[in-house]
Amino acid sequence: MIGAIALLLMCQLLGEALHRLTGIPLPGAVLGLLLLLLWFVIRPRERPVLSAVATWLIAHLSIMFVPAAVGLMQQGAILSRYGAGIVIATAISTILTLLVTVSVFRVVARRQESPSR
C-alpha cells in the first residue's frame, strides 16, 4: 500500500516538474495522470493495488477538507463582514458559467447536426 501511495505521489511530482521545466501548457496534475497512465501500460499488474489504494483514499476524502474548514473558521471576522458578498459573487459566477457552458454546448451540437458540405 505504501508503494502504491508513493507511486501516486511520484507521478504527481514528476508531472509538476515536467510542467515547470518544459512549460507544457497542461497542469502538472494532468501530466502526472498521463504518467500514471503510461505506468499502467508498462506495468498492468499493478492496477489492482492502485485501485485498492485509490478506493481507500476516496473513502477518506473528507479528511482532506479539514484544513480548509479550519481555515474558514479562523477567518470568522472577515466572513461575517464579507460573507454575503462572497456567497452572492460565487452564486452569480456559477450561474454565468453554467449559462456559457450550455450555450457553447448548443452551438457545438448544432454544428454537428448540420451536414457538412
Torsion angle (degrees, nearest 10) of CA 83, 65, 67, 64: -170
Dihedrals φ, ψ of 90, to 5°?
Answer: -65, -45
Q: Is 60 in contact with 45 (CB distance < 8 Å)? A: no
Q: What is the pLDDT along the chain (117 residues), one digit of tens a residue?
A: 888 889 999 999 999 999 999 988 889 999 999 999 999 899 888 888 888 888 988 888 888 778 878 888 888 889 899 999 999 999 999 999 999 999 999 999 998 887 765
Q: In angstroms, rounded to a whole number, what is the distance separating the alpha carbons of residues 44 and 56?
A: 20
Please give the sequence-ordered ranges of beta strands (E in DSSP) within the chain, or none if there are none.
none
Dihedrals φ, ψ of 114, to 5°?
Answer: -70, 135
How much is the pTM? 0.53
